[in-house]
Homo-oligomer: A and B are copies of this chain.
């Protein structure tokens, strides 16, 4: 029961995370073959819920990539079901207070470190020997993506059982600017960049992993310079839309030239 992501961090390497918004075991298996270190099935904004997530985790089984999951909300049942399904870590949105963080952490681990209920039905198949020792392998990322979350970031980072702070730039920007700035990733507004950097520093100071949701490889590389130790790079739905759209556009341009 080791989590290979911890090994990467121990070796001083960053973690490159992929992102699944499409609820399909086929797309999950495609993504699992591309060289990401971890791959997150997103049951929050992804167009799927537990049933598809399970089939995606099953299809990722036996691949080198480490499966993670994002839950729709701070919800004990959803978190524990995804861990039982084989996710090796949970990203939880909208952690705004230390109380949120403590509740989240408690759902991730068996007693005495939490209140996770025992019954790792599929995790036990995916990882022979899975049991209480999973407490050491499972990761919990608290998303900092509101003004309140930013205000309480030190307390959140200090919460035992929280392994990392995950920055959601779209929501953080909407929240900090109170809707004045448009939603989106790869921000360059100084006040947003400052907030993002601050979260990274707070995490590092607390001995936790700072993680950032990015679009472009260039921005993700820059995030490493800011201290982030995990970067998410785009996601399946956007990658497919962009690639197919570009292919069509290229053909239409050639067609119009002719």
- With A34-B245, A110-B179, A252-B35: A258-B170 Cβ-Cβ less than 8 Å: no
- Residue A98 at the chain B interface, CB threshold 8 Å: no
Interface residues on A, range: 35 or more
B24 touches A24 (CB 8 A): yes
Kindly state the separation between the CA atoms of A146 and B110 in the bound complex, as whole angstroms.
Answer: 11
Count copies of this chain in the complex: 6
A26 and B47: CB pair below 8 A? Answer: yes
User: Is A1 interfacial (CB 8 A cutoff)?
Assistant: no
- Residues of A111-129 whose CB lies within 8 A of B: 111-113, 115, 117-122, 125-126, 128
Is the pair B119, A44 in contact by a Cβ cutoff of 8 Å?
yes
Instruction: Judge if A29 is at the interface, Cβ distance under 8 Å.
Output: yes
Q: Does A48 contact B (CB under 8 A)?
A: yes
A253 to chain B, nearest CB (A): 8
B47 to A54, Cβ gap below 8 A? Answer: yes
Closest to A31 in B: B244
Distance from A172 Cβ to chain B, minimum over Cβ atoms (Å): 10
**Does B233 contact A34, Cβ atoms closer than 8 Å?**
no
A239 at the interface (CB under 8 A from B): yes
Given the known inter-chain contacts A47-B54, A112-B178, A248-B35, please indicate yes or no for A24 contacting B21, CB distance below 8 A.
no
Among A58-66, A150-158, A187-195, A197-205, the stretch in contact with B = A58-66
List of B residues within 8 angstroms of A59 by Cβ: 55, 58-59, 61
Given contact pairs A51-B52, A77-B44, A77-B72, A115 touches B183 in the complex (Cβ within 8 A): no
A117 adjacent to B239 (CB under 8 Å): no
9 examples of A-B residue contacts, CB within 8 angstroms: A26-B48, A26-B122, A48-B50, A49-B81, A55-B58, A77-B78, A110-B179, A118-B174, A239-B247
Q: A220-B254, A231-B251 are in contact. List 4 more A-B contacts (CB 8 A).
A: A16-B255, A93-B117, A225-B258, A233-B248
Identify the A interface with B (CB < 8 A).
14, 16, 18, 21-27, 29-31, 33-36, 44-52, 54-55, 58-59, 61-63, 71-73, 75-78, 80-81, 84-85, 93-94, 110-113, 115, 117-122, 125-126, 128, 131-132, 145-146, 168, 170-171, 174-175, 178-179, 182-183, 217-218, 220-221, 224-225, 231, 233-234, 236-237, 239-245, 247-255, 258
